[in-house]
Each structure stands twice: as structure tokens, then as C-alpha cells.
Amino acid sequence: MKKTMILSLVLATSLFSASIDFKQADDNVKRTLPTDNQNTILSYHDSIQKVKNSVVNISTSKTVQSSSFGIDDFFNDPYFRQFFGFDFPQAPKNKKNKEVVSSLGSGVIISSDGYIITNNHVIEDAEKITVNLPDSSTEYKAKLIGADPKTDLAVIKIEAKNLPAVVFADSDKLLEGDVVFALGNPFGVGSSVTSGIISALNKNNIGLNQYENFIQTDASINPGNSGGALVDSRGALVGINSAILSRSGGNNGIGFAIPSNMAKSIAQKLIEHGKIERGYLGVVIGALTQDIKKAYTNQEGALITEVQKDSAAYNAGLKRGDLIIKVDKTVIKSPMDLKNYIGSIDPKQAVEVTYERDNKVKTAKFMLKTDEKSLQYEKGYIDGLKLVELDSKNRQQYRIPESISGILITEVTPKSKAEKIGFEQGDIIIGVDQYEISNFKELSKALELNKGKEYVKIWINRGGFVRALLF
């Protein structure tokens, strides 16, 4: 018995007798101040002083629906919907009571003659946009030039001259660890600056925007900082502050900014055209899983899972199972890479797509098309209406039976022509004069055929009852 115990101890000891040669830092170090001159203060004051004058306060106002708490408030309460699911049918809103609400945000001057870039969510649906310059009591009424909800960017303009325009940096040259400063107007208390570093680059799948390529920073981005500037240690713009990742609403050191290169490209198009039109491939894409990678030579790319009939990709011969690895000279490592690159290209532009099929690399050259459905939603057909085609999700949300076909009205802008006519959220456009409507294409054609008439009858289904509105 004793021999067995001794043997066991010897074996146990031998199992743990291996040694590790840990790398040890030199203990003989000297601590010093950033500068050896005791009369010198380390400061970035001069670097950010100039760019502070380019960051403005934006205040907006809009009319919203309001009501005393009732059963509709209970069913639409966020906590109730989080418990039962966000697809739980919504109760109709009380449309009798309205109130004017205000909000604050920030913006960045990008031209001396008054163009300002900000977040779309700062000015979205605003009836009035007011801009205050730093250290000035003068208020400027701003005009919306254009907005792009898919990147959460917008451009507004004020009538002023000789404004201090921001200097842009090349955001593609950023590195993790670079020192950055977030400038804005948090809580409406005036201009403020927070500091940090770049925590990560090219962040996507955050779920904030449709097109994402965020700069992540630990510089505090607080309420009111949205639309403000993220600058490097020179004071050059590297991003537009957009959002924070937080459960409580406070800053947890995870902030996101839209890269300056993306902001500059979107702003230029909005100023020139007032809208963003994107190229459209016509494919559904997914990422390579570990199992599927075994079937491909390339281990990165965007996997085509579906090809839309008569789309640019369909006509070019692309098929389900093709792995897109490059477009033009841009390497595609993920579905988001493909989405962002195609989304940055104008419609009707030629592209060369490199893809893998059956372990062979092939290329296809073709012209991009326009995502007509998306473009129609953004443009709208009737001033003041936001429209979507009916699908299983919004049918469930609005409790619309399968027997009804048409175009769903998801939002009516207060004080718009559409509201004055009598359209309401939840209405379904089912006809235009004698034409039946079931999709955007039919709606567009019907409106075009009735163009020039003094009055056009728009047939709607509201709560199961059909009525006509004169447009």
C-alpha cells in the first residue's frame, strides 16, 4: 500500500515538472514625464482649437402623435414588445392628439458657403432645422439638401459666407491606437471635446445602418454628439460621430463614427443630386461557414445564395453557389465588403466580378442596374408618404389578411400634402382610378397614366373598408 502511494506521488510530480521560460520585461526602467521641461504642459489645445469652430449645434422640431396612456400604449410599449417579440401586431395609434417635440444634435461645416454634414437621424422628418455657430447667438434656418438613411448621413445648408470649413483626413490611413477627439454639443450645453483612441476599424454587422464600415473609439460620444466630428491629433476630420453601444444609454467606451472618406463621398453626391442612387447586383449573399469552406479553394468572399431573375447578376450568368472574391480591383473578404463596394458605385456602371465556381476562378463584366424597389421607397410617389410593398412581416404587424393586395403606408409626414388629403398610417393603396395596385411597378405606371389630370382617385383599404381620396 505504501509503495503504491509513493509511486503515485512520483508520477504526479513528474507530470508537473516541466518548466516554462517566461519572457520578463526589464525591471530597470525610468519613469518620466512626457516632456523633460517641468514648465511645459502636454496639450492638444492648438490642434483642436480651429476645428472646434467647424462644429455646429443643430436643433430640430417636428409634430408627433401623442395620447394619454391606454391599451394602444400598452401593446406598443418597448418592454411589452421585447417580451412578446417585435413582430407582435401593433395597436393603431391615436391620431387625434399631436405635439411638437424638439431634439438636439451636432453637425460639421464642410464648405465656406454653408454646407453642413450631420447624421440623418438628427434631422429625420424635421419640420424646422436651426443651426447655431460656435460662440454665436445668431440662429440660422437650415435647408435640407439631401439625406441617406442607409448610411445615416445628411447634408443641410445655411445662408452664410466665409465659414470655417473642416479639413478632411484620409480615413483609409487610420491605425488602431491613433489618438482621436470627439467634438460635439452633448445635452445642448455647448461645445465640448472628449479624447480617446481608435479601438477598431472596419466594424460592421453592428445593426445600426444598412451600409456599415464604422470606426470604433473609446472617446465618449454622448447624446447631442451625433453628427459631430471625430478628428485626429492634427484636428483633421477622420469621421462623423454616429452612435454608442450601451444598454443603459451612458457611455461604455464603445462609440462608432462613420469614416470621413465615406462621409465625403455621400455628401458630394447629396449636394450634386439631392439623393443617393446605388448600383444593384441582384443577389442574396452569405458568409462562408467552416463546413462550406471545405468545398472552395478561396477561404474568403461573398457566397451567392440566390440570384434575382432579370437582375444584372442573372443576365451576367452568376449562379447560386458562386463565391465572389473580387470586384474590379477591390478584394472581397466578406458579404459586407461586397455590399459596401457595390453600394458605393453609381447605377449603370460597368464592373468586373471575379468569382469561384467548381474550384475554378472566373470573371464576368457587366453593367449594374438600379435597385428600383429601394429607390422608389426613398423617393416616394406621393409627397409626405413612406411606402412599402406588403410582405409576411408587415402583414402580421398590421394584421393585414392575405386576401388584400396593395402598397402599405408606413408613415405620413405631418403637415404634408398627403396628410391634408387624408392619408393615414396603416392605409393600403389598392388602386389608382380604374387601375388595380399590388406593387410599386403598377403604382408607378398608374400614376404616370393619370399624370396631368386635375384630380386622381386613390383607392385605399382602411381597416377593411374601401374608400377613395382625391389626389
> What is the SS3 assignment for 455?
coil
User: How many of the other CB atoms lie within 10 Å of CB of 53?
Assistant: 17
Domain check: are 106 and 174 in the same one? yes
84 domain-assigned: yes
Q: How far apart are CA 213 and CA 208, in angstroms?
A: 11
- In sequence order, the β-bridge partners of residue 128 are 61
Check 121, 148, 220, 260 and give the catalytic one.
121
Domain check: are 257 and 296 in the same one? no
Q: Choose one of 224, 253, 275: the last residue of a domain.
A: 275
145 domain-assigned: yes
Domain check: are 68 and 209 in the same one? yes
Domain check: are 63 and 170 in the same one? yes
Annotation marks residue 17 as catalytic: no
Laid out side by side, the sheet with 153-157 consists of: 139-141, 128-132, 55-65, 98-109, 115-118, 153-157, 143-148
30 domain-assigned: no
Q: Which domain holds residue 321?
A: 279-370
pLDDT digits (tens, 9 = 90+) for 127-174: 889 998 987 878 899 999 999 888 889 999 999 999 999 999 999 899
CATH number at residue 383: 2.30.42.10
Domain check: are 362 and 420 in the same one? no
Annotation marks residue 170 as catalytic: no
Mean pLDDT of the chain: 80
Q: For every residue of 34-59, which 3-state class applies, written as one string? A: CCCCCCCCCCCHHHHHHHHCCEEEEE
Higher pLDDT among residues 156 and 421, named by residue: 156
Q: How far apart are CA 157 and CA 150, in angstroms?
A: 21
pTM (2 decimals)? Answer: 0.66
Domain check: are 270 and 298 in the same one? no
pLDDT digits (tens, 9 = 90+) for 275-285: 888 888 888 88
Annotation marks residue 273 as catalytic: no
Q: What is the mean pLDDT of residues 177-202?
A: 84
DSSP secondary structure letter of residue 111: S
- What percent of the chain shows pLDDT beyond 90? 28
CATH number at residue 78: 2.40.10.120
Domain check: are 256 and 328 in the same one? no
Domain check: are 209 and 309 in the same one? no
Instruction: Tell me the residue type at 310.
Output: D
Sequence-separated (6 or more) residues with CB below 8 Å from residue 121: 152, 226
15 domain-assigned: no
pLDDT at 211 over 90: no
2 domain-assigned: no
Check 54, 226, 242, 344 and give the catalytic one.
226
Taking the alpha carbons at both ends of the chain, their separation in whole angstroms is 100
Sequence-separated (6 or more) residues with CB below 8 Å from residue 354: 324, 325, 326, 327, 361, 362, 363
Cβ distance 372 to 355 under 8 Å?
A: no
261 domain-assigned: yes
Cβ distance 58 to 123 under 8 Å?
A: yes
135 domain-assigned: yes
- What percent of the chain shows pLDDT beyond 70? 80
Q: What is the pLDDT of residue 156?
A: 95
70 domain-assigned: yes
DSSP secondary structure letter of residue 415: T
Distances from the Cα of 188 to the Cα of 103, 155, 380, angstroms: 9, 21, 33
Q: How far apart are CA 323 and CA 301, in angstroms?
A: 6
Domain check: are 139 and 246 in the same one? yes
Check 59, 148, 152, 344 and give the catalytic one.
152
Q: Choose one of 234, 251, 275: the last residue of a domain.
A: 275
Domain check: are 72 and 190 in the same one? yes
Domain check: are 312 and 436 in the same one? no
Sequence-separated (6 or more) residues with CB below 8 Å from residue 290: none
Domain check: are 347 and 302 in the same one? yes
Total structural domains in the chain? 3
Sign for the CA dihedral angle at 176, 177, 183, 187 comes to positive
